[in-house]
Amino acid sequence: MGASFLVPDDFRAFMRKVVAYLESPSAEKFLDAEDALPDETGYGGRIDGVDTFQFTYFTGDAKHKWQIVLREAVLRDVALGVVIEVPGECFDLVEEPSARPPTQAAGEPLLVWGEYGDDALHVKVQAELLTALDGLHTTAAYQPRMLRMWSAADDQVIAVVHGDECALYVVASADGYATACGDPARKDSLEVVDHDGRPLTVPGMDLIPWAHALNALLRFAQRGDLGPEIKVEGRIPSALLMHGDFDRKDALAARAKPPKRLDRSSLPRLLTPPVPTPVIASPGFAGEPIEEPTAPHELVEVPESSASEPMAMKVEELSAWARRLIDVLFTRDLIELETAKLDEISYQLGGLLQAHATEAEHSIDTAEWLANEIGAVRGVGKLFATAGDLQIALRRSRNN
């Protein structure tokens, strides 16, 4: 119900970040989505295309969430500290048992381990889920990996796997959220990046043996609970609370259609990563030079005074970004190269990034156009990336 929201310090800090983003010199800003403006305390976005924003804020004790609607002028006053109280609506996060039977199927279980369409599996056969989980456990031997899984009844669990340990966080279920309990005496922690590129700290006390976690995940896929052998507490890291607001339908709408067969997913590639092999450019038909597919995109040197602007990068910075983008696409088998001269490819690609990357990150049409242009760059044999794939690759490669 409606109530008065007394602005806490962390929400005010969130609003300062929003104002800084609104005042940044970038011409294209991504604002019009409910989670366009993410933060460790919650998320938000513009809802009327003009100057009204809605934010979801999770309290520090993870027991409640607030929905707050602010006009831009009020938002700025909150950031400045002029306004200390605004209208809001409070919701309990500790749910009462749902009327929905846990076994009522809403669809096939879904396992997701990355941001691309094939980083997922619609679970048709339980044996394939076991194989997939075992494979993902192998890929997490040296670096933590985050998994998200929806049960047949749309319950959701997040797993962070590292070596032979795993943390389990139930973010949506008939019985509310929960965290699997490990050794409470542990004081260590590990860091992982979620599928949206946000960091997450996992306390060592949340880690349990992988063998137990595997059994719990297999049970969760069908029944929506972790089973009696897993001790749980009714808490969850606040950074994960927002995942409970986005069900399987939302997750599927934001990605390419996941495969229903494990061999068509990205897991085989993860288990046998490709080794880059330099390919020497060959002459065209009858020894003639290969025709230039497209005119080179020249980089424009940026003056020092504008180097702080988001897209005002120097030539070497753009080339480095282009090289990182190529690496991301190559490791995903989304690009084939005809030449080993990556410096030349990076130089041409840098020009495209300078002119169109920011717009492409927020416009699917521009991303599709940019994908065609990248595929035509001299030295690029073929680009398999969809517009959505390219948007993700641009965001992942923008910074080191």
Tens digit of each residue's pLDDT (9 = 90 or more) over 209-244: 999 999 999 999 888 899 888 999 888 887 787 776
Residues 6+ apart with CB under 8 A from 153: 100, 101, 102, 103, 104, 105, 106, 174, 224
Range in 17-21, 101-105, 185-189 the model is least confident about? 101-105
The answer, yes or no, to whether residue 269 has pLDDT greater than 90, is no
pLDDT at 280: 43
Query: Which pLDDT band holds residue 75 (cuts at 50, 70, 90)?
Result: very high
**Which of 120, 134, 116, 115 shows the shortest CA–CA distance to 265?**
120
Query: Which pLDDT band holds residue 310 (cuts at 50, 70, 90)?
Result: very low
pLDDT at 128: 87
> Taking the model in full, what pTM does it have?
0.53
In angstroms, what CA-CA distances link 362 with 104, 133, 174, 337, 392?
37, 33, 36, 27, 10
DSSP bridge pairs for 233 = 179
Tens digit of each residue's pLDDT (9 = 90 or more) over 123-134: 877 788 889 999
In angstroms, what CA-CA distances link 7 with 57, 77, 234?
10, 11, 26
Range in 105-114, 150-159, 223-232 the model is least confident about? 105-114
pLDDT at 277: 41
Instruction: Give residue limits of the domains in the chain.
Output: 2-92, 110-269, 274-397
DSSP bridge pairs for 387 = none
Buried b (16+ CB within 10 A) or exposed e, 151-168: bbbbbbbbbbbbeebbbb
In this structure, what token pair is assigned to residue 128?
């394939």
**Which of 256, 200, 235, 253 shows the shortest CA–CA distance to 38?**
200
Mean pLDDT over residues 291-307, rounded?
45
pLDDT at 245: 60
